Amino acid sequence: MYDRPWHDVVNFYSNLVNGRFTLSTLFGTETCIEYDSKTEEVSDEKEERGGRWERVTFRIIVSYNGGAFDGWQKQPGLNTVQEMVERSLGRFVDEKKAQLLKEKSKPLEGCAVVAGRTDKGVSAIRQVCSFYTWRKDVKPCDIEDSVNSMAPGKLRVVSVSEVSRVFHPNFSAKWRRYLYIFPLNDQDFQKESCENEEEEHLSTDGNYNDPRSGSVKNNGRENGDNLIISNNDGLEAANKPTCFSVCRVNQLLRQLEGKLLSYKMFARDTKASRNMGPPTECFMYRARAAEARIPYSDHKEGRKVMCVELVANRFLRKMVRVLVATSIREAAAGAEEDALLKLMEATCRRATAPPAPPDGLCLVDVGYTDFDAQNCLIL
């Protein structure tokens, strides 16, 4: 059972998936990031070729509500986005592959390659995957109808297009954009100056579970400055910071922009020190935080939230959620602006905070051309 604030965030993402809201709803403006079809399309030479070049490749952009699935990656006994998409693509595989699957007693499914696997509870607005077939009679509209029929209201196709046979959703991508929405207490806050801008100290209106038995919760103080980020360890916890500034979170995150850094201390479920495997360096194009509002039924002005926008060439496992949680913790502690940079040099991942809840995270889009700094959610 979700706390009320996270439930509002999940509902907002659900409305985004179903097209009832747009991201411009967050900031109360008519303008928002643009999805230029020209920058996404990959041209294809119309030449007669043999072998693997005869196959037809489709790029499928899907939107899904993370709360309805157990993540992207197919897993036995779980309801995943990949399973839904690949089952819907089964009707478009060629006869040779269909016969091979039958001989191996495997279900008739297509193979979908994705730009980035999302965890359980994480939503996506424009997740990119690809599918290829040797059949020449498959049309984009057929694929769209088939995928849309799998989980109406939870999984929706944004677009389907034929692309170059060399297109790869993951390896061809130049950047990914994530958005994290963190619910705040809309009733109590105090204002201070922050480089000639308004700075608000706000608290959450509910709890989220911390893997180390910690929590972010409202402690009932009358002044409302009560964002607690700590383990429940008695008197020691009572002495830890209880509120944070959205403006301060923004200052901490901006120090990451334009730098190639190793984020291994901000990753989870991967080895912190390894000589093999993918590198841990990521180039952060954009890292910003700002206050916004999401619509919810009990308040005409909407629920007050903190939005974090992160754009990088790649992300490690749970990296965004750890960055958000750590930024809030450091802002509450009054850390210096280079606090996150100093944590890059840590030798133990306990130096960074446990991941923030997956409910607030959303993969916004994936780019296949150079990143445009003017095309952002948070300026």
Domains and CATH numbers, the chain: 54-164 (3.30.70.580), 181-188+242-367 (3.30.70.660)
How confident is the model at residue 53, as a pLDDT? 61
Report the interhelical angle of 246-254 vs 319-332 (nearest 10°): 120
**pLDDT under 50: residue ranges of the chain:** 1-2, 31, 38-44, 46-47, 186-238
Give whole-number Cα distances, 321 to 97, 182, 335, in Å.
Answer: 39, 11, 19
How confident is the model at residue 206, as a pLDDT? 40
How confident is the model at residue 219, as a pLDDT? 34
Which of 8, 119, 225, 365 is catalytic? The answer is 119
How confident is the model at residue 35, as a pLDDT? 66
Alpha carbon 329 to its chain centroid, in Å, reads: 20
How confident is the model at residue 74, as a pLDDT? 93
Q: Are 178 and 202 in contact (CB under 8 A)?
A: no
Specify whether 365 is catalytic.
no
How confident is the model at residue 37, as a pLDDT? 53
